[in-house]
């Protein structure tokens, strides 16, 4: 069972539990990448006003809360109760009371034939296989919005350690598979690519755990001493580790 496609529930539960504390949270800024991407959703012809939304793999609500401020209602589905707890906290802080939260893996979630006006999935391993694409499509009355990796995700210390190994780096390009599925099914879509550099800051101990998890995903073995040695290059005199993650994201929007 492939760990990257969300079907290994135990692995994904453990992974998101570890990552929830350092995962990006909702920000109300108007110039962040989330704001830019929502702007492009609208440029693609999506109107959220008065609409019901399904957010698959909603996580901490980075997009969920932003969309809930415009939509009539949002249903967020996610496997991780830790991530959903953060979403609940941030939604309450923003005064968003129109979000329904469901703690369930997407592949076993029984929609019971329910449909929403717009179905959304952003940066989630829950939607990576043809059956996932179809299930999301079946849930939407008007349109589907997908945001995935567009071929690049470089974590500074990890990039160096993977380069030293004999393992071929993992390619983060799941938007390609989505486009192929749409092309194979004759579905027209809008696509736009975004490049992002996101700074990360954490304690040295948190950074070691973070790197161990990232290396595991890439199936690269590294001794803890080697990880700690590499992280020293990114650590200040107060023991805070700072590095960048460079990524390319692809937005795909289609109407039904």
Phi and psi dihedrals of 7, rounded to 5? -80, -25
Specify the pLDDT at position 46. Answer: 98
Strand order across the beta sheet in which 52-56 lies: 99-103, 73-78, 52-56, 116-122, 140-155, 240-255, 190-203
The gap between the terminal CA atoms of the chain, to the nearest Å, is 32
C-beta separation of 179 from 189 below 8 A = yes
Q: SS3 breakdown of the chain: % helix, strand, coil, rounded to 5?
A: 40, 25, 30
Residues counted in the chain: 256
Domain boundaries, the chain: 3-155+168-199+244-255
Write out pLDDT tens, residues 217-235: 777 788 899 999 999 999 9
pTM of the full structure: 0.91
Among the listed residues 69, 72, 63, the one whose alpha carbon sits nearest the alpha carbon of residue 116: 72
Architecture of domain 3-155+168-199+244-255: 3-Layer(aba) Sandwich (3.40)
pLDDT by 10-residue block (mean), the chain, 256 residues: 66 85 90 96 98 98 98 98 98 98 97 97 95 98 97 90 70 90 98 95 93 82 89 96 96 98
Specify the pLDDT at position 13. Answer: 87
Specify the pLDDT at position 80. Answer: 96
Write out pLDDT tens, residues 68-78: 999 999 999 99
Specify the pLDDT at position 4. Answer: 53
Specify the pLDDT at position 168. Answer: 66
């Amino acid at each position: 069972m492939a760990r990257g496609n969300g079907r290994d529930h135990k692995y994904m539960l453990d992974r998101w539990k570890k990552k929830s504390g350092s995962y990006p949270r909702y920000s109300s800024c108007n110039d962040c990448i989330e704001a830019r991407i929502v702007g492009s959703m609208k440029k693609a012809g999506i109107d959220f006003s008065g609409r019901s939304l399904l957010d698959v793999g909603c996580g901490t609500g980075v997009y969920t809360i932003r969309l809930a401020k415009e939509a009539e209602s949002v249903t967020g589905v996610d496997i991780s109760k830790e991530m959903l707890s953060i979403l609940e906290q941030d939604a309450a802080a923003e005064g968003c009371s129109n979000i329904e939260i469901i703690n369930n893996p997407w592949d076993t979630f029984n929609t019971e034939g329910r449909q929403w006006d717009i179905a959304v999935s952003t940066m989630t391993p829950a939607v990576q296989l043809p059956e996932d694409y179809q299930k999301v499509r079946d849930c939407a009355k008007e349109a589907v919005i997908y945001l995935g990796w567009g071929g690049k995700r470089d974590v500074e210390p990890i990039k160096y350690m993977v380069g030293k190994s004999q393992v071929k780096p993992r390619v983060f390009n799941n938007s390609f598979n989505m486009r192929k599925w749409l092309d194979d099914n004759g579905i027209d879509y809008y696509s736009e690519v975004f490049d992002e550099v996101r700074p990360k800051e954490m304690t040295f101990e948190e950074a070691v755990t973070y790197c161990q998890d990232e290396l595991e995903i890439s199936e690269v073995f590294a001794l803890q001493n080697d990880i700690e040695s590499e992280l020293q290059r990114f650590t200040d005199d107060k023991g805070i580790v700072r590095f960048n993650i460079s990524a390319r994201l692809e937005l795909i929007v289609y109407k039904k």
